[in-house]
Amino acid sequence: MREEIQIRPTTQGDVPGILELLGTVFHEDYPEEVRDWETGVLELDRSLVADDAGQVVGHIDAYTRDLTVPGAVVPAAHVSGVGVVPTHRRRGLLNRMMRRQLTEIADAGREPIAVLWASETSIYPRYGYGPASSRLAFTIMNREVRLTVPPAEPAGRLRMAEPTGLLADLTKVYEQLRPDRPGWSSRDDRWWRYVLTDLEAHRDGATKRYAVVHDGPDGPTGYALWRVKNGWNGHGPDCEVQVREVVATDPETYQALWRFLLSIDLCRSVTFRLGAVDEPLRYLVDEPRRLGPAVLDALWVRLVNVPAALAARRYAAPVDVVLEVTDPILERNTGRWRLTGGPDGAVCVPTTDPADVTCSVTDLGAVHLGGTPLSALVASGRVRLLTGNDPTVAFGWHRRPSSTEVF
């Protein structure tokens, strides 16, 4: 009888097999430069493999990073690299890896939430992940739009260079804004290297990546990262500006950066895949339809420790509510929890009081960043209000979540 496939911690010797698996699962070539780039952030002690007689046939890992939630920054397991080779699908390997990872995160007690980007959105609700934020993907006809706000007087200064040459400025701006941006992840030196490494394999025929920094009187106030894909047709130049990030500390900087990106010579379109749902650009142009916005899902959140996660974030309005939560994987989360708090802090403790709300741990993950309205889940029937104590307003937040990267 053949031995059951083993789920075990990763060793250094598994790394080539993991990279081969990821290339197969995500249908990508992994040349040596990509392999070095990927292994630069791999945390072996947080990685699991499915081992079939010495062959890596499944994998899942997590990165140790912080995540901004409404009003706070918390440790969060950043789950990635999830996959099973085609020959071993439908054997329960993904289920075993996901459940073991969640149990290990919960037992460690450091991270109250886990977060991921979903390759297929039907998979992860089964493991308690809820769609916590959305993004706007823009395909802009840049010759068809104009900013309706005149340039600031006096205008700031723009400096353009390769991103690594501007790292100190990028870091300063990013860290200034990160505590107030739900959905943003921490970036230590390792992660800045990961984000800014400009691999030929990732360019898809476009140029190297560029950075532009906007300076105000007291130093850098914003930056943008982009590259350009060359193109010509029967009408002449038809290049595409591919924007990676636009980060600005004030409206004047934001306007100046977009004015620059929309007016690069020879370019007839601008794409930006990671815009926030409330992206200010939509309200700055004279022809917003020419921005071509499309709403897509972004971060998915899983509450690993329900009381710790609910107590860690802040709330838009005072709240005192009893939640009856179900969690079929981490049963320690199942039960009734009294959440009290508001904009300045919160407490969540077990209770035997009658429930005001019934919901699943997936629903709590969906509303945790303030991006998915709790009222929408109530209207859909996923969440039930049992009394007149309605906490839907409290779970919102003054800033909609957004993400500046796909890890």
Q: Output the known binding site.
A: 82-84, 90-95, 119-120
Q: Classify residue 342 by burial, with Cβ atoms within 10 Å: 0-12, 13-18, 19+.
A: middle
Q: Phi/psi at 403 (nearest 5 deg)?
A: -130, 140
Beta bridge partners of 60: 48
Is residue 75 within 8 Å of 111, Cβ to Cβ?
yes
Which residue ranges are tagged as binding site for acetyl-CoA?
A: 82-84, 90-95, 119-120
Other beta carbons within 10 angstroms of residue 284's beta carbon come to: 19
Q: How far is CA 83 from CA 58, 271, 350, in A?
A: 6, 29, 36
What is the secondary structure of 49-110 as a DSSP string? EEEETTEEEEEEEEEEEEEEETTEEEEEEEEEEEEE-GGGTTSSHHHHHHHHHHHHHHHH-S
Q: Is 174 a catalytic residue?
A: no
Instruction: Report d(CA 43, CA 78) in Å as an integer.
Output: 11
Contact 307, 338 (CB under 8 A): no
Active-site residue (options: 63, 124, 254, 395): 124
293 residue type, one letter? P
- Given 254, 315, 395, 407, which residue is catalytic? 407
Beta strands in 279-318 (DSSP E): 294-297, 299-303
Whether 124 sits among the annotated catalytic residues: the reply is yes
C-alpha dihedral (354, 359, 361, 364), degrees to nearest 10? -100
Candidates 185, 173, 238, 155; CA nearest to 211 is 173
Rg of the chain over Cα atoms, rounded to whole angstroms, equals 23
Q: How far apart are CA 288 and CA 293, in angstroms?
A: 9
Amino acid sitting at position 71: G
Side-chain-side CA neighbours of residue 109 (13 Å): 0
Q: Which of 333, 169, 334, 335 is nearest to 253 (CA)?
A: 169
Catalytic residue ranges: 124, 407
